[in-house]
A = this chain, B = another copy of it.
């Protein structure tokens, strides 16, 4: 019960602060005295700070306003992208305080060097965060692949060429912090939920996270639908041309073969592959290259066909497009929306024809990873204080 009340105080300040003790007490329905005890404990643990006297005009003795600490625990988010490593640290107020990124070529790479590089980058960001007065509370790693429900094992990341890798254990050897692992589309969706800036935030949406692979995350009533094995959201392997191109997954005509970044690069007639090809694709799209625009329209149509199935099946409020493909929205989206309108069982639902582009850009999964650590601290402040004291 005490744990729960500590978390209630922290969430009240996180979502509505700065707040006086009396205002916190009113919000969470505890006595002023009980709140004071909890606040003292949270302040001692370095999670809350007093901002000084609050403004006059409030009822009773003026209290000091409470805010989350800028020098408390930090959430470290990391992303193993197909062509980059990125790591950031957010403080309890949700502000990004440190960020580091390295270009890389991870297609079918050996795990050893990638993991050592990631551990090194995480350690650097953690050290920088400590120099800023923060205490790193844990790392969450975003991976483009299937992650088991243990939040540790990468079951399959075809575009990295990884299989059955206990990533949490592998990183723990080089990194003295608790490590959790999640699918990048899941973390992108959580970022959209927490930071998307929608008001009111949609509670039921499908978040498409497209890069080389195409992932999705389904949010139902404000919570991620993870699936029985943790593998939900494999939009990239929804068949859109059932007897079409063979896919790395063993199937045929999967969406990824028509709307994934490599498929678009190929369809646009670009000779380079990998990140070089992606750079050419971006440059030519911006230059108005017609072959590139045609390829993007084709990708959009395939995406819209797959999304029509998703919308017919799940009836979400909104579909949000994030990740690298979001940068191609001007060419991709009209074709996708046309397919969606054409194929959704009840076209009277006007909102169904629209796909919203995420405002978080390519960093959605990275931010979601860092914020998932921050959320764990807010949900279990005592646990994180113990971790910090270790």
Interface residues of A (CB under 8 A from B): 146, 155-156, 204, 216, 218, 220, 225-242, 249-252, 254, 305-306, 308-310, 312-317, 342-347, 349
Is B241 in contact with A228, judged by CB distance below 8 angstroms? no
Min CB distance, A308 to chain B, in Å?
A: 6
A233 and B315 CA atoms in complex are apart in Å by 8
Q: Which of B232, B238, B250, B254 contacts A315 (CB 8 A)?
A: B232
Is B313 in contact with A250, judged by CB distance below 8 angstroms? no
**Which chain B residues lie closer than 8 Å to A146 at the CB level?**
345-346
Is B228 in contact with A315, judged by CB distance below 8 angstroms? yes
Given contact pairs A155-B346, A240-B242, A345-B249, A231 touches B308 in the complex (Cβ within 8 A) = no
Is B251 in contact with A313, judged by CB distance below 8 angstroms? no
Copy number of this protein in the oligomer?
Answer: 2
Given contact pairs A237-B312, A345-B249, A220 touches B231 in the complex (Cβ within 8 A) = no
A293 and B234 CA atoms in complex are apart in Å by 32
**Which chain B residues lie closer than 8 Å to A155 at the CB level?**
346
**Which chain B residues lie closer than 8 Å to A240 at the CB level?**
239, 242
Is A314 in contact with B218, judged by CB distance below 8 angstroms? yes
A236 and B225 CA atoms in complex are apart in Å by 22
A231 and B347 CA atoms in complex are apart in Å by 12
A234 and B252 CA atoms in complex are apart in Å by 23
Is B305 in contact with A239, judged by CB distance below 8 angstroms? yes
**Which chain B residues lie closer than 8 Å to A308 at the CB level?**
237-239, 251
**Which chain B residues lie closer than 8 Å to A238 at the CB level?**
308-309, 312-313
Is A228 in contact with B306, judged by CB distance below 8 angstroms? no
**Which chain B residues lie closer than 8 Å to A312 at the CB level?**
234-235, 237-238
Is A343 in contact with B313, judged by CB distance below 8 angstroms? no
**Which chain B residues lie closer than 8 Å to A220 at the CB level?**
220, 225
Q: Which residue of B lies closest to A164 (CB)?
A: B348
What are 22 sample pairs from A and B whose C-beta atoms fall under 8 A apart?
A146-B345, A146-B346, A204-B227, A218-B313, A226-B315, A227-B314, A228-B315, A234-B312, A234-B313, A234-B315, A235-B313, A237-B345, A238-B309, A238-B312, A238-B313, A239-B308, A249-B345, A249-B346, A251-B345, A252-B343, A313-B313, A313-B314
